[in-house]
Amino acid sequence: MTALVTFKDVHKSYGTLPVLKGVSLTVPEGRVVALIGRSGSGKSTALRCINGLETIQSGTLEVCGRKLHEANCDLRHLRMEVGIVFQSYNLFPHLTVEQNVTLAPRLTGKASQAEAHEIARKVLEQVGLAEKAKAYPEQLSGGQQQRVAIARSLAMQPRVILFDEVTSALDPELTAEVLKTIEQLAQSGMTMVLVTHEMSFARRVADEIIFMHQGVVWETGDGSMFDNPQTPELRQFVGSGL
């Protein structure tokens, strides 16, 4: 099984603030990896390193066969293979749902106009929003907007998608519909890294769960690690109900 993401002793700081202090982890192709941990433990930073939004200071980071620790890494081609979905959706408000979804495939030369249209139809169907193709983001609920953001990522046919607390801004009902979409995606075999606060969801969907604490991988396991935490930090984290 090939690894799509490999961190080896990755260090990253913002100015003088060290945030990742020697992170090592791998994400095998076809697997779903959940990143959990307290706020400020470096989960978002780790995710942002994966698609090159942040540069690392030391260690090695390989994503889809590209060495991100090397200065000449081609980030644009990396991002054709790595999708990311944010907590705040970040849809383009001046474009319709369909235009949001087709923009990147068209501009990057991945698809012609007609192909892009077909891709949009397919991915919007996948997230259950085919009938909203002509709507503008502001006309959609938060949950629908987030599903469009997922569709927009899917349209680039990425090899791996990163999710950064994508349901944190949603109320429970809308959270459920977005989680269902992600779960279906997981079942379709998509490689994913999920930063999430939804522990029961992580437990159900993730093949592997990584507990981050103070900038390092503190404990790793599958869903059963919640029942039997090996470290006091994870025990406390689980106990706090987060």
Partner 1 sequence: MTFAGLTPNQLLFILQGAGWTVILSLLGFVGGSVIGLPAAVGRISKNRLLRFGIAGYINLIQGIPLPIIMFLCYFGMSIAGFSVPALVAAAVAMTAYCSAYLAEIWRGALMSVPKAQWEAAECLALKPFQRLTHVILPQAVRISIAPTVGFLVQIVKNSSYAVVIGFAELTYTARLLNNSTFRPFVIFSIAALLYFAICYPLSLYSRRLERRLKRG
Cβ neighbours for 71, distance < 8 A, ≥ 6 positions apart: none
**Interacting residue ranges for Mg ion, rule: CB under 5 A:** 44
Q: Which is nearer to Mg ion, 44 or 102 (CB)?
A: 44
**CB-CB contact of 156 with 108 (8 Å):** yes
Closest approach, Cβ 60 to ligand ADP, in A, equals 20
**Binding-residue total with partner 1 (CB under 8 A):** 22
Burial class (CB in 10 A: 0-12, 13-18, 19+), 177: middle
Structural tokens at position 43 = 């989960």
Of positions 4, 23, 63, 83, contacts partner 1 by CB under 8 A: 83
Residue 178 CA to residue 170 CA, distance in Å, equals 9
Closest approach, Cβ 35 to partner 1, in A, equals 18
Burial class (CB in 10 A: 0-12, 13-18, 19+), 127: buried
Closest approach, Cβ 198 to partner 1, in A, equals 22
Residue 192 CA to residue 126 CA, distance in Å, equals 16
Q: Which is nearer to ligand ADP, 42 or 52 (CB)?
A: 42
Residue 187 CA to residue 239 CA, distance in Å, equals 29
Using the rule CB under 8 A, is 94 a contact of partner 1? Answer: yes
Of positions 1, 17, 71, 138, contacts partner 1 by CB under 8 A: 138
Using the rule CB under 8 A, is 136 a contact of partner 1? Answer: no
- Count CB-CB contacts under 10 A for residue 139: 12
Using the rule CB under 8 A, is 93 a contact of partner 1? Answer: yes
**Interacting residue ranges for ligand ADP, rule: CB under 6 A:** 14, 17, 19, 37, 39-45
Q: Which is nearer to ligand ADP, 47 or 120 (CB)?
A: 47
**CB-CB contact of 220 with 24 (8 Å):** no
Using the rule CB under 8 A, is 104 a contact of partner 1? Answer: yes
Enumerate binding residues for partner 1 (CB under 8 A). Answer: 51, 53, 76-77, 79-80, 83-84, 86, 88, 90-94, 103-104, 107-108, 138, 152, 156
